[in-house]
C-alpha cells in the first residue's frame, strides 16, 4: 500500500508549535550562565528532538514500514563514526 | 511448460515513435547504450592511465635515456625528452587518478552496473532512465576537466592521487594551483555522477525485480553491484565535501587543513580515507561478483556456498567502513586509534578468504570449460590471493611502519587492482560482449592476450614486492640519489621492460574488441549456456529488454542439475514441478 | 498504453521497499546528502574540538536574533510544505497551490535573509579566511573582545551555511517547478508523487538547518 500505514492527517500545526517552542527553549538555554558542557548537551538534545519531529511527522517516518526506515537510518552511524574517531585525535 | 505471460507494463519506446540517431545513441536513456558509452569512455582513460604509467616506468628504468616520443612533450613537462621532477610527480598522481576514478570505477560500476542490473533482475530498464543518462553526461565534463589539468599554468596536480594537504592546499609548495583546482572540481563533478548512478542502481535492485527474483535468487554480480552502489552512495559524498574544503583552501583562503590557523592536515587524511577505503571495496566487489558468475559458468557447477558468498559481500561492505586508518599508520595519528584499525583490518581478510575458498570449492571437480572469461576469472582468484596476502602484512602496524610508502604497497595495489579488478574486467567484457554487441570476440586472440598479459603482468609487478622490502620508496623521481637503492636499478629496468611488453600485449585485446564488433561471429541468445535472465533475450536485447515480464523459478547457478538433461538450467525455465509465484508476491528464498 | 498510476508500488514485481520508485529514490539520495553534510559539519565539530579558541561565543560575531527568526521561517515553510501534501492527498487543488506558493515564498525569504546576513558579516569584516584587516571585527579582536584568529571559524561557518543555502536554493527552484505543475492541475489525489518527493527534500533541508542553527549559532 502506498503510504505505509493508513492514518489520518497528523496534527501538523501542533508539530509546528512544538518546533517553535523547542527553538525558543534553545535560545533561552544558550545564554544561561551554566557550564559549557551542560549547555552543549541540552542544546544537542533539543536539536535532536526537533530533528526527530521533522523526520517522524513531516517526513512520515512514523508511519512508514521498517524497510523505509532502514534507508533513513543507515547513514547515521557512519556519520557518528568519522566524527568520534577523528575527535580522538584531540581528546582521549 | 510455457512461462506464465504477464502483460508488458508499458509499450516499448521504439514502437511508440521513431527515435533519431542522437536520441538513440548519444542521449540515450537505454541502460544498455549508457553502459556501452561508459565502456568506450573508460577504455579511453584506461589507455591514458597506461601511457602515464609507461612514462613513470621509463623514468625509473632508463633515466639516462630520452623518452621515446619525448619530442611531443612540451618544455614544461620534459625538455629534450627528459622528464622534469615536477612532471614526474604529476605523472604518478594522474596515473592513479585516471585509473581509479576514470577507468576501473566506471568500468565496474558504470558499465556493468548499468548493463547487467536491469537485464539480470528482469526489468525493462533502470528505475530512472533519464537520471541514468544524466549520470553519464555529467561524467564526461569531469573527464575533460581532469585532462585539462595537464595544459594549465603550473601543470597538473603533483600531490599523489590522495592529494594530501598541505602539499595540495597551498600553491606555494608546488607551484600547482589551477591543476589542483581542476582536479578537485573534476572529482566533485564525477562524484555527482556516481551518486546519481548509485541512487538509480539501489532503487532498481530493490523495487524492479521480476516476480520470483527474490533476494537470494539474485546473481552474485548483482548482489555485489548492489552493495557497491550503497558504498558509492555513502562514501563519495565524503570525498565531495573534503574536495570542496580543499578547493576553498586553494582558492578563497579558508584554513581547513592549515595548521598555522588551527586547521588540521590530518583531517584531510581522515576524510579522504574514510571515503578511500570503501572506494577500494567499490573497486573490487563488482569484480568479485562477476567472477563468481563466470566461475560457476565455467565450472558447470553451482557456486559453492552461495549464501555465505552473499554474507561475505555484505560483511566486506560493513567492515570496509571501519578500517580506513590502516592507510594512516605512519601519519602521526593517535596510536590507540591506530590499534583499533589494525584489528578491524585483520578481520576484514576473513570474508575475502571465505570467498576465495568458495571459488575453489566451485571449481572443485567441476566439468571445467576453459573459455577466455574463465581463464581471466581463475587468474583473478590467484592474483587476488597474492594481493590479499600482501594486505595482511600491511595490516600489521609494526610491519607497515617499515613498508609504508614503499613499492611493497605499489605491488599490493596492483595485484588487487590489475591482477584483481582488471582481470575480472577482461573476463566480464569477454563474457558479456556477445550480449552487448551481438558478436563473439575471437577466442584465439583472447587466449593469446590472456597468457601474454598474465606473464608480463606478473613479471612487472611481482618484483615490486622485493623492491619495497629493500626500502625503495614510492613516488620517487630519482632512486639513484640514494646509495642503498642503486643496486636495485637493474630490477627497475627489468620491470620497465616488462611493463612495455604488458602494454603492447593489450593491443591484441583492443584489436579483438574493435574487429569483433564488425566482423565477429554472430552471437546466439545464450552462447555460454548460462542461466541468467540476460541470456533469454536476443543478443543484443531490444529496447525494453523483455517482451513479457519474466518469471523466475530458481537461483542463477543451477548447473549440472539432475532435473534436466542439459548441464544448465535458466532461471526462467519453468519445469513441471515449479509453482508460479503470485504476481507481486513476497516469494520465499529459493 | 496509458501509464499506470504509480502511487502504489509497481505491480508484477517482487515486493521491494513497498513504496513507489521516486520516493525510494529520494530517500536513498538523502542518505548521500547526510554523508555530504557530515563531511562539512563533522569537520566543523572536529576543528572546533581541536582548536576552540578560534571560535566565537554565541552572538559575538554571528547574529543570533536574525538567524533565529530565519530558523522559524524555515520551520514555517516545512509546515506549509506538508500541508500542501496533505491537501493533495485529499484532492484539494486549491489548498495544494496556496500552500506550495507559500512554501516557495518563505523558502526564498530564507535565502534572502541569509544573503543579508552574509553581507552584514562581510561588512563587519568576517570572511571565510578570517577577519578583514581594519574593519570592525578585526578591531574588536585587536582589543581582545573577539578571538584573535578566526581563520577556521570563518572557513567552517561559510562552507556549512553556504552549502546549506545552496541546497535551499536548489529546493526553491524545484519547488517553483512543482508549484507551476500544480497550477496546471498535474497532481491528483491518485498521483501526487512529485509533491511528496520535493516535500521530503524540503524537510531534509529544514532538518539540516535545525542541526546547523543549534551547533553553529548557539554553541
Cβ separation C43–B267 shorter than 8 A: yes
**Per-residue model confidence as pLDDT tens digits over C100-140:** 999 999 999 999 999 999 999 999 999 999 999 999 999 99
Q: With beta carbons under 8 A apart, name residues in chain B contacting A92.
A: 334, 336
Q: Are B367 and B299 in contact (CB under 8 A)?
A: yes
C1, C2, C7, C10 alpha-carbon torsion, rounded to 10°: 0
Q: How confident is the model at residue C6 (pLDDT cuts 50, 70, 90)?
A: very low
Cβ separation B234–C152 shorter than 8 A: no
Tell me, yes or no, if C50 comes closer than 8 A to chain B by beta carbon: yes
Cα–Cα dist C205/C34, whole Å = 10
Q: Which residue shows C-alpha cell 508500488?
A: C9
> Chains with 3 or more CB pairs closer than 8 angstroms to A?
B, C
Q: Which of B164-168, B184-188, B302-306 shows the lowest mean pLDDT across its residues?
A: B164-168
Cβ separation B206–C156 shorter than 8 A: no
Q: How confident is the model at residue B7 (pLDDT cuts 50, 70, 90)?
A: very low
Q: Which of residues 303-322 of B touch A (CB under 8 A)?
A: 321-322
Say how far residue C89 (Cα) sits from the centre of its chain: 25
Nearest Cα residue to B35 out of B148, B201, B189, B206: B201
Cβ separation A92–B234 shorter than 8 A: no
Q: How far apart are the first and last CA of chain C?
A: 58
pLDDT at B443 over 50: yes
Cα–Cα dist B544/B118, whole Å = 10
Cβ separation C8–A1 shorter than 8 A: yes
Q: Which residue shows C-alpha cell 620491470?
A: B495
**Per-residue model confidence as pLDDT tens digits over C54-109:** 998 999 999 999 999 999 999 999 999 999 999 999 999 999 999 999 999 999 99
Tell me, yes or no, if B248 comes closer than 8 A to chain C by beta carbon: yes
Cβ separation B237–C159 shorter than 8 A: no
**Per-residue model confidence as pLDDT tens digits over B67-92:** 999 889 999 999 999 999 999 999 99
Cα separations in angstroms, B53 against B64, B503, B560: 18, 10, 44
Chain A residues within 8 A (CB-CB) of chain B?
74-75, 78, 81-82, 85-86, 88-89, 92
Q: How confident is the model at residue B582 (pLDDT cuts 50, 70, 90)?
A: low
Say how far residue C107 (Cα) sits from the centre of its chain: 9
Q: Looking at the partner chain, which of A74, A82, A88 has a beta carbon nearest the beta carbon of B274? A: A82
**Per-residue model confidence as pLDDT tens digits over B300-345:** 999 999 999 999 999 999 999 999 999 999 999 999 999 999 999 9
Q: How far apart are the first and last CA of chain B?
A: 19
Run of H or E including C177: helix C151-183
Number of Cβ pairs < 8 A linking chain A and chain B:
28
Tell me, yes or no, if C44 comes closer than 8 A to chain B by beta carbon: no
Note the pLDDT of residue C10: 47
pLDDT at B584 over 80: no
DSSP state letters, B227-251: HHHHHHHHHHHHHHHHHHHHHHHHH
Best residue in B207, B209, B233, B274 for a mutation probing chain A (most A CBs within 10 Å): B274
Tell me, yes or no, if B309 comes closer than 8 A to chain C by beta carbon: no
Q: How confident is the model at residue A6 (pLDDT cuts 50, 70, 90)?
A: low
Cβ separation B256–C43 shorter than 8 A: yes
pTM: 0.95
Tell me, yes or no, if B253 comes closer than 8 A to chain C by beta carbon: yes
Cα separations in angstroms, B64 against B3, B69, B476, C12, C142: 69, 15, 16, 68, 58
Note the pLDDT of residue C78: 97
Cα separations in angstroms, B395 against B52, B54, B181, B283, C93: 29, 30, 33, 19, 61
Nearest Cα residue to A31 out of C58, C210, C65: C58
Q: Helix B407-416 to helix B443-469 angle, to the nearest 10 degrees?
A: 160
Q: Are B279 and C176 in contact (CB under 8 A)?
A: no
Percent of chain B with pLDDT over 70: 95
Q: Are B354 and B289 in contact (CB under 8 A)?
A: no
Amino acid at each position: 500500500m502506498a503510504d505505509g500505514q493508513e492514518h489520518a492527517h497528523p496534527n501538523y500545526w501542533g508539530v509546528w508549535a512544538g518546533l517553535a517552542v523547542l527553538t525558543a527553549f534553545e535560545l533561552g538555554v544558550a545564554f544561561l550562565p551554566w557550564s559549557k558542557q551542560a549547555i552543549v548537551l541540552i542544546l544537542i538534545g533539543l536539536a535532536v528532538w526537533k530533528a526527530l519531529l521533522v523526520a517522524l511527522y513531516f517526513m512520515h517516518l512514523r508511519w512508514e514500514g521498517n524497510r523505509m526506515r532502514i534507508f533513513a537510518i543507515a547513514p547515521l552511524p557512519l556519520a557518528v563514526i568519522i566524527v568520534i574517531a577523528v575527535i580522538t585525535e584531540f581528546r582521549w | 511448460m510455457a512461462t506464465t505471460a504477464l502483460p508488458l507494463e508499458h509499450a516499448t519506446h521504439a514502437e511508440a515513435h521513431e527515435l533519431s540517431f542522437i536520441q538513440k545513441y548519444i542521449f540515450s536513456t537505454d541502460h544498455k547504450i549508457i553502459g556501452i558509452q561508459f565502456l568506450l569512455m573508460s577504455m579511453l582513460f584506461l589507455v591514458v592511465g597506461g601511457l602515464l604509467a609507461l612514462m613513470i616506468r621509463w623514468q625509473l628504468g632508463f633515466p639516462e635515456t630520452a623518452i621515446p616520443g619525448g619530442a611531443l612533450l612540451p618544455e614544461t613537462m620534459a625538455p629534450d625528452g627528459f622528464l622534469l621532477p615536477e612532471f614526474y610527480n604529476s605523472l604518478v598522481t594522474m596515473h592513479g587518478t585516471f585509473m581509479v576514478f576514470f577507468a576501473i570505477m566506471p568500468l565496474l560500476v558504470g558499465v556493468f552496473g548499468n548493463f547487467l542490473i536491469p537485464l539480470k533482475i528482469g526489468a525493462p530498464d533502470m528505475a530512472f532512465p533519464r537520471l541514468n543518462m544524466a549520470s553519464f553526461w555529467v561524467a564526461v565534463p569531469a573527464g575533460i576537466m581532469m585532462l585539462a589539468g595537464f595544459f594549465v599554468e603550473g601543470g597538473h596536480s603533483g600531490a599523489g592521487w590522495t592529494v594530501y594537504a598541505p602539499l595540495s592546499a597551498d600553491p606555494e609548495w608546488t607551484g600547482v594551483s589551477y591543476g589542483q583546482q581542476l582536479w578537485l572540481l573534476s572529482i566533485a563533478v564525477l562524484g555527482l555522477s556516481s551518486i546519481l548512478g548509485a541512487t538509480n542502481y539501489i532503487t532498481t535492485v530493490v523495487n524492479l525485480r521480476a516476480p520470483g527474483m527474490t533476494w537470494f535468487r539474485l546473481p552474485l554480480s548483482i548482489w555485489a553491484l548492489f552493495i557497491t552502489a550503497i558504498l558509492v552512495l555513502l562514501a563519495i559524498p565524503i570525498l565531495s565535501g573534503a574536495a570542496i574544503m580543499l578547493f576553498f583552501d586553494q582558492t578563497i583562503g579558508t584554513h581547513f587543513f592549515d595548521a598555522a590557523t588551527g586547521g588540521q592536515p590530518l583531517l584531510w587524511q581522515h576524510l579522504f580515507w574514510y571515503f578511500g577505503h570503501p572506494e577500494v571495496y567499490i573497486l573490487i566487489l563488482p569484480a568479485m561478483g562477476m567472477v563468481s558468475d563466470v566461475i560457476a559458468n565455467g565450472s558447470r557447477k553451482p557456486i559453492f556456498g552461495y549464501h555465505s558468498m552473499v554474507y561475505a559481500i555484505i560483511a566486506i561492505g560493513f567492515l570496509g567502513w571501519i578500517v580506513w586508518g590502516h592507510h594512516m599508520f605512519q601519519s602521526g595519528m593517535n596510536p590507540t586509534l591506530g590499534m583499533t584499525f589494525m584489528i578491524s583490518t585483520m578481520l576484514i581478510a576473513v570474508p575475502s578468504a571465505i570467498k576465495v575458498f568458495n571459488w575453489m570449492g566451485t571449481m572443485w571437480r567441476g566439468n571445467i570449460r576453459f573459455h577466455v572469461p574463465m581463464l581471466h576469472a581463475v587468474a583473478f582468484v590467484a592474483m587476488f590471493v597474492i594481493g590479499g596476502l600482501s594486505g595482511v602484512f600491511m595490516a600489521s602496524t609494526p610491519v607497515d611502519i617499515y613498508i609504508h610508502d614503499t613499492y611493497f604497497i605499489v605491488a599490493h595495489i596492483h595485484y588487487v587492482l590489475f591482477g584483481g579488478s582488471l582481470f575480472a574486467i577482461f573476463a566480464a567484457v569477454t563474457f558479456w560482449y556477445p550480449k552487448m554487441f551481438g558478436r563473439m570476440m575471437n577466442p584465439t586472440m583472447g587466449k593469446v592476450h590472456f597468457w601474454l598479459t598474465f606473464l608480463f603482468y606478473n613479471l612487472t609487478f611481482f618484483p615490486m614486492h622485493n623492491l619495497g622490502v629493500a626500502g625503495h620508496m614510492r613516488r620517487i623521481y630519482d632512486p639513484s640519489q640514494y646509495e642503498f637503492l642503486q643496486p636495485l636499478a637493474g630490477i627497475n629496468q627489468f620491470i620497465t621492460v616488462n611493463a612495455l611488453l604488458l602494454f603492447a600485449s593489450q593491443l591484441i585485446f583492443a584489436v579483438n574488441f574493435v574487429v569483433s564488433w564488425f566482423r565477429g561471429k554472430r552471437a546466439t541468445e545464450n552462447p555460454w549456456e548460462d542461466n541468467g535472465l540476460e541470456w533469454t533475450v536476443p543478443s543484443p536485447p531490444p529496447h525494453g529488454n523483455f517482451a513479457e515480464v519474466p518469471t523466475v523459478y530458481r537461483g542463477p547457478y543451477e548447473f549440472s542439475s539432475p532435473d534436466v538433461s542439459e548441464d544448465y538450467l535458466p532461471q526462467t525455465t519453468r519445469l513441471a514441478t515449479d509453482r508460479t509465484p503470485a504476481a507481486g508476491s513476497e516469494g520465499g528464498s529459493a | 498504453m496509458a501509464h499506470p498510476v504509480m502511487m502504489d508500488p509497481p505491480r508484477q514485481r517482487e515486493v521491494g521497499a513497498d513504496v513507489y520508485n521516486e520516493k525510494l529514490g529520494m530517500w536513498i539520495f538523502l542518505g548521500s546528502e547526510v554523508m555530504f553534510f557530515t563531511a562539512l559539519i563533522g569537520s566543523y565539530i572536529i576543528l572546533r574540538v581541536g582548536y576552540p579558541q578560534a571560535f566565537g561565543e554565541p552572538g559575538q560575531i554571528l547574529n543570533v536574533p536574525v538567524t533565529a527568526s530565519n530558523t522559524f521561517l524555515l520551520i514555517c515553510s516545512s509546515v506549509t510544505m506538508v500541508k500542501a501534501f496533505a491537501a493533495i492527498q485529499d484532492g484539494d487543488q486549491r489548498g495544494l497551490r496556496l500552500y506550495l506558493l507559500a512554501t516557495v515564498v518563505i523558502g526564498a525569504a530564507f535565502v534572502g535573509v541569509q544573503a543579508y546576513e552574509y553581507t552584514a558579516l562581510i561588512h563587519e569584516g568576517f570572511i571565510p579566511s578570517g577577519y578583514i584587516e581594519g574593519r570592525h571585527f578585526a578591531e574588536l579582536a585587536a582589543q581582545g573582545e573577539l578571538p584573535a584568529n578566526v581563520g577556521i571559524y570563518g572557513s567552517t561557518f561559510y562552507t556549512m551555511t553556504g552549502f546549506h543555502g545552496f541546497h535551499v536554493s536548489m529546493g526553491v527552484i524545484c519547488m517553483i517547478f512543482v508549484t507551476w505543475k500544480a497550477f496546471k492541475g498535474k497532481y491528483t489525489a491518485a498521483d501526487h508523487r512529485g509533491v511528496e518527493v520535493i516535500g521530503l527534500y524540503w524537510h531534509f533541508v529544514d532538518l539540516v538547518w535545525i542541526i546547523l542553527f543549534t551547533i553553529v549559532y548557539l554553541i
